[in-house]
Structure 1
Amino acid sequence: MDKVVKTRRGGPRTFDRDEAIDIAMRLFWRHGYEGVSLNDLTAAIGVAPPSLYSAFGSKAGLYREALERYFGLRGPVWDIKPTTTLQETVETLLHKAIDAVIDPAGERGCMISSGMIQCGPDHAELARELAERRDTMRDMIAATLEHWLDRDHALSLARYLVAVLQGLSVQAYDGASREELRQVSDEVIAGLKARMFS
């Protein structure tokens, strides 16, 4: 494991860098980037600020690594394979998203879907990086939808689905149950059916 030395009274000892990223990921996931202070991070990880800076360069550097860890947890939910129909594929995407944002093994919501929607000007670069990840999410969904739709319609539906995913993330963070979120996905599917057969 990648260990980083930190100094305490009684001499140096090490902290586990992977564990530090996991702890930071949980804090950022639960409270957002600006809701987590350097003191919060160092207290939770059990390391002095100089050691954190030595290991990650900055709070932003640790946040980026925490995002990568989050991204790799189960693979992105929007990276779906086309199934037999457009409706089944969209349903799979929505159900995977609901499972992810209320998974009891994690925190509620999605670090990427609802991360850094608002922030101070000092963190605009990080906010742009999150927006780019959301753009990637939209483009990956659109690429899958192109199995049934032309490019313009696929992009339009993908943009709508990303808006739904962001809403599911926020509602999950606010405490919505699986059943309540499934009601949302059912409405989306019903609307898609009506559009397809109108």
Structure 2
Amino acid sequence: MAASSNKSVEPTTRSRGRQPTFDRDEALETALDLFWRHGYDGVSIADLTKAIGIAAASLYHAFGSKADLYREVLHHYRSVRIGAKEIADAPSSYDAVRQMLDRGITAVTMPGKPLGCMVSSGMLMTSEENADLAAELKAIRTVSRKALERRIAHDVKEGVLPATTDAAALARFYMTVLQGLSVQALDGASAAELRLVAASALRAWPGAPSDLL
């Protein structure tokens, strides 16, 4: 997980006297659990302050707003997923997809954690007032898809994949599979069951290697 250099924040409300400091990383983990389980719309400021154990003024001072806290939680969370740089640096686009699906399954079925993926399934349906935040999540998903598309296109250019390969369609197909894994995890599919799904999806790869998941 991404670490913060600011380990503690002191509340700014002085009328109640000096309050104990709190651990920022622990606060982020608590907020992560709430947002992950209940979604952005399902978590209130009161829920956050009660779970973290701080006053609302302290939360606003430390994180700015509920939306800003959600953004920081997403950054805290996204380290479990394969990023654009890892996709670009993978030995091949096939390896990138294989790793993406493998990491995705691990992320959506972690023991003791909520099921599903905050990025893949997050804010697909939300209120109009949170449309901007939903657009940011969509942009995160788009970045990953475009990175995969570029990696596939590179392999087509290098002759690793057939010249007839549609990089955009292939990238979208595997991103759809990735999002589907999150939904299936929410519906109760086990990691073993999801790995069978991923293996089936990998067989659709152009000239798929025999050493599948």
Task: Out of 74-83 and 165-174, give the one that drifted further.
Answer: 74-83
SS at match of 1:41: helix
Unaligned runs of 5+ in 1: none
4+ long deviations beyond 4 Å: 7-10, 86-89, 193-196
Say whether residues 1:154 and 2:149 are aligned partners.
no
Equivalent of residue 23 in structure 1, options 12, 18, 30 = 30
**Which residue number corresponds to residue 143 of structure 1?**
150
Aligned equivalent of 1:5, options 5, 10, 35:
10
Which position in structure 2 is the counterpart of 1:173? 186
Structure richer in strand, relative to its length: 1
Deviation at 1:100, TM superposition (A): 2.0
Aligned pairs, number: 194
Q: Can you list the C-alpha shifts for 1:46-96, whole angstroms capped at 9, x where unaligned?
A: 011111111112111110110111123x45366334336x54543333222
TM-score (norm 1): 0.85
The answer as to 2:98 corresponding to 1:83 is no
Q: 1:121: how far off?
A: 0.5
Q: Which secondary structure state, in structure 2, belongs to the residue aligned with residue 119 of structure 1?
A: coil
For 2:3, the equivalent position in structure 1 comes to: none
- Identity score, percent: 45
TM-score normalised according to structure 2 size: 0.80
Which residue is equivalent to 1:108? Answer: 115
Deviation at 1:9?
5.9
Contact kept in structure 2, 1:77 and 1:96, CA below 8 Å: no
Contact 1:77 1:97 (8 Å CA) reproduced = no
Pick closer, same or farther for the CA change 1:172–1:54 going to 2, 3 Å: same
Amino acid in structure 1 at the alignment position of 2:186: Y
Superposition pairs for residues 179-190 of structure 1, below 5 Å?
179-190=192-203
Measured on the aligned residues, the alpha-carbon RMSD in Å equals 2.6
